[in-house]
Amino acid sequence: MSITHRIPGLILTDHEFQVPIDYTQPDGARLTVFAREVVAASKATENLPWLVFLQGGPGFGAPRPVDATAPGWIGRAVKDYRVLLLDQRGTGRSTPIGYQSLARFKSPQEQADYLKLFRADNIVRDAEWIRKELKIDRWSVLGQSYGGFCITCYLSLAPEGLREAFFTGGLPPINHHTDDVYRATYPRVRAKNQLYFERYPDDVQRVRDIVDYLLKNDVRLPCGDPLTPLRVQQLGMSFGMSDGFEPVHYLLEEAFITGAYGKEISYTFLRGVENALSFDTNPIYAILHEPCYCEGTMSNWSAERVRAEFPEFAITPDGPVLFTGEMVYPWMFDEYRTLQPLKEAAHLLAQFDRWPQLYDQEILRQNTVPTAAAMYYNDMYVDRLLSEEAASLIKGSQVWVTSEYEHNGLRADGEKLLGRLFGMVRGEV
């Protein structure tokens, strides 16, 4: 039974759908996929077209709307559409995946086999199942980052279900090994480090002091995990966002405090580091981040291997310490307490080389679904050049390459950005 709530300017309706865990066994076990319908209160009775939002990740639930009057993409979207915020399988309220839920499996191999079913192809199949259950002829889709990967898969597997497709920072590398992805993104992360330390030159020494202290002392985060130099480097995850530098800088400013025995790492810093990284609360992001690129190949911990080609990211006894970006490393399954029970399954998935095809290049070359994509010139997470290659494969795709926004353009200025994409598809721009 659907549940409806009202918040300023919006009517929200919760939906739960029972879909096959494995679509090769449609009559087999089920899981729940949750979606929240969002409509402007003033248009609740209108027969509006539908727009499905696919969140970035992988492994993150859809946004939770707050207020239609606040600036943002949802407020813009509900002017024209009835929006469906889809919690992709395994995230949010969609039979969530975590170390607790995966503990019910008897072996790491069983965990790995289950996790293989949580990539973009099955997210698309879930969306199609829901579309048919709601008796919708065709709907539009908006994909942010990894959500755009899912849309590209959608255009390959079930284009007949789509009316329009909108991408924000999310055209995937097609026909590229995972190693190619990291060989492209490590230099972009290095460039972001350069910009960061140009803005905050004092932080060169601050980071060095933190790392030196951690190399000599056993420091624990509030959750009990060890705080290591490698984990501090992961604070660079935010550097691809327009507002990503400042939280790191202000956190570093308060890294040390004078305690009973002299200088030590402050609780403020420890809590800040723990809060800044979400691998433990969103384990799909850690486990399937590299496999989300794979088609018939293994990732074999690509980010870890390719990192060796960029020695500037190594932690040395002296010299500057650079932050890393959107990379997953095998050491994380030793240091993150809630990832430890998933370590063997993660290794099995990293060695798996029979991942099914996600993108059909022939179908993409014959595409008839109107598409518009915003690409960010200096995107740290999704390499623009690889995205441009993908766009060239999708017949009729319209691309807007801009340096006005970073990867979080949809969040930072969603009303303007989405309005432009709508205009591109409608021939107004």
For the chain, percent of residues with pLDDT exceeding 70? 99
pLDDT exceeds 90 at position 2: no
Q: Which two tokens stand for residue 212?
A: 């030196």
Q: Which of 94, 126, 140, 145 is catalytic?
A: 145
Q: Domains of the chain, with CATH numbers?
A: 3-173+359-425 (3.40.50.1820), 178-350 (no CATH)
- 300 and 351 Cβ atoms separated by less than 8 Å: yes
For the chain, percent of residues with pLDDT exceeding 90? 96
Q: Is 379 a catalytic residue?
A: yes
Q: Is 249 a catalytic residue?
A: no
d(CA 142, CA 157): 17
| pLDDT tens string 339-382 | 999 999 999 999 999 999 999 999 999 999 999 999 999 999 99
**99: DSSP letter:** H
pLDDT exceeds 80 at position 1: no
**Count of residues making up the chain:** 429
pLDDT exceeds 80 at position 69: no
Rg (CA), the chain: 22
Q: Is 407 a catalytic residue?
A: yes
pLDDT band at 103 (very low <50, low <70, confident <90, very high): very high
* CA 102 remoteness from chain centre: 21
Q: Which of 140, 203, 238, 407 is catalytic?
A: 407
Give the number of other CB atoms < 10 A from CB of residue 26.
Answer: 11
- 273 and 227 Cβ atoms separated by less than 8 Å: yes
Residue by residue, DSSP assigns 293-310 as G-SSS--SSHHHHHHTT-
Measure Cα distances from 35 to 88, 89, 94, 134, 270 in Å: 9, 10, 8, 12, 35
pLDDT exceeds 70 at position 3: yes
| Residue pointed to by tokens 């050491």 | 331
| pLDDT tens string 259-299 | 999 999 999 999 999 999 989 999 999 999 999 999 999 99
- Non-local (6+) Cβ contacts of 404 within 8 A are none
| pLDDT tens string 147-201 | 999 999 999 999 999 999 999 999 999 999 999 999 999 999 999 999 999 999 9
Measure Cα distances from 192 to 35, 324, 351, 423 in Å: 36, 10, 31, 32
Parallel, antiparallel or unpaired: strands 371-376 and 398-402 = parallel
pLDDT exceeds 90 at position 68: no
| pLDDT tens string 24-66 | 999 999 999 999 999 999 999 999 999 999 999 999 999 999 8
Q: Which of 379, 383, 397, 413 is catalytic?
A: 379
- 38 and 10 Cβ atoms separated by less than 8 Å: yes
Long-range contacts of 265-272 (CB under 8 A, 24+ apart): 265/210, 265/213, 265/214, 265/217, 265/219, 265/227, 267/222, 270/219, 270/220, 270/221, 270/222, 270/227, 271/221, 271/222
Cα angle vertex 319, ends 314, 321, to 5°?
50
Parallel, antiparallel or unpaired: strands 262-265 and 371-376 = unpaired
- Non-local (6+) Cβ contacts of 264 within 8 A are 213, 217, 256, 257, 258
User: Which residue in 340, 341, 326 sits closest to 381, CA to CA?
Assistant: 326
| pLDDT tens string 132-158 | 999 999 999 999 999 999 999 999 999
pLDDT band at 70 (very low <50, low <70, confident <90, very high): low
- 378 and 403 Cβ atoms separated by less than 8 Å: yes
pLDDT band at 204 (very low <50, low <70, confident <90, very high): very high
Give the number of other CB atoms < 10 A from CB of residue 160.
Answer: 10
What is the predicted pLDDT for the residue at 66?
Answer: 84
